[in-house]
Amino acid sequence: MATEAQNSPFIKNLASSDKRTRDQALNSLRAYLSAQTQISELDLLKLWKGLFYCLWMQDKPHLQNRLSTDLASLPSTLRPTVVLPFLRAFYITIAREWVNIEALRMDKYLFLIRQYVNASFKWLASTKWDQDLVRQWNHMVEETPLHPKDMKVPNGLRYHVLDVLLDELEKVEDTWDDKREVLGLIMEPVERLAKEGILKPVRLAAKECLADDRLKVWRGEEANKDDEMGEDEEEEWGGIED
């Protein structure tokens, strides 16, 4: 049970300053999680509360980043049935604890969130962007970090996910067989937020994300624009008159 994992010494040992102790703790956590075919939401939330405060206790910047990177490696070791519930519990925990994160500790959690956005895309890439799984991921994202109407979701979390979304998506660009199809699905939560977000600043942030030049390039829109410009210039060119 995750309750046992939360109370286990290896959770606290993840924040150890000793590399060997940290590595052993991470290996124990991976072994425990990879053996599970199903974990209840309650147990996952208890586990993530332990992991959240494990990072909270880590004060050394280089170890904070290492711990975040290590935690973000966990989804790749999970059984397929556990990945999305695990990611969902992560976002629920971050949203719940957001108000308690002090300014001096915020950077490490922002880095952790970035790593988890990246981990999500790597996992979806490993499934060859299975449409059903992408839709399930969308539902999970719309439920917590990018929920358009739930005021319990911190706007700071919404803004940060929007800020890093395309940066991390760009890192898996070479895994897309059909860019338009993948983008059409993966950007649906942002489009919904841009249309249905209760607060205007949140809607504007979502629209800025959707207006990013990288999306235009991936969809081939700039290339088409260049082609049109080339055709216009060719039509206007009349050659050298005698």
- Total residues belonging to the chain: 242
Cα–Cα distance for residue pair 90/109, rounded to 1 Å: 11
Confidence (pLDDT) at 22: 84
Residue in 212, 137, 205 with CA at minimum distance from that of residue 167: 212
Q: Which whole number is the average pLDDT over 116-126? A: 97
pLDDT exceeds 90 at position 158:
yes
CATH topology of domain 1-126: 1.25.40
Alpha helix segments (H runs only) across 103-154: 103-126, 131-143
Domain ranges in the chain are 1-126, 127-221
Lowest mean pLDDT among 45-49, 105-109, 181-185, 219-223: 219-223
Predicted confidence band at 9 (pLDDT cuts at 50, 70, 90)? low
pLDDT exceeds 80 at position 232:
no
Cα–Cα distance for residue pair 187/60, rounded to 1 Å: 36
Residue in 201, 107, 131 with CA at minimum distance from that of residue 162: 201
pLDDT exceeds 50 at position 50:
yes
What percent of the chain is helix, strand and coil (3-state, nearest 5)? Answer: 75, 0, 25
Q: Which whole number is the average pLDDT over 118-131? A: 95
- In the chain, pLDDT over 90 holds for what percent of residues? 69
At 239, the amino acid letter reads G
pLDDT exceeds 70 at position 140:
yes
Confidence (pLDDT) at 4: 47
Chain centre distance of CA 82: 16
Please provide the average confidence, as pLDDT, over all residues in the chain: 87
Q: Let me know the angle formed at the C-alpha of 120 by 145 and 173, rounded to the nearest 5 degrees.
A: 115
Coil, strand or helix at 15: coil
Cα–Cα distance for residue pair 95/212, rounded to 1 Å: 26
pLDDT exceeds 50 at position 236:
no
Cα–Cα distance for residue pair 67/13, rounded to 1 Å: 11
Q: Which whole number is the average pLDDT over 151-173? A: 96
Confidence (pLDDT) at 229: 42
Confidence (pLDDT) at 122: 96
Reported as a single tens digit per residue, the pLDDT across 66-119 is 999 999 999 999 999 999 999 999 999 999 999 999 999 999 999 999 999 999
Confidence (pLDDT) at 178: 78
Cα–Cα distance for residue pair 155/56, rounded to 1 Å: 21
Confidence (pLDDT) at 219: 86
Confidence (pLDDT) at 205: 98
pLDDT exceeds 50 at position 208:
yes
Q: Which whole number is the average pLDDT over 168-194? A: 92
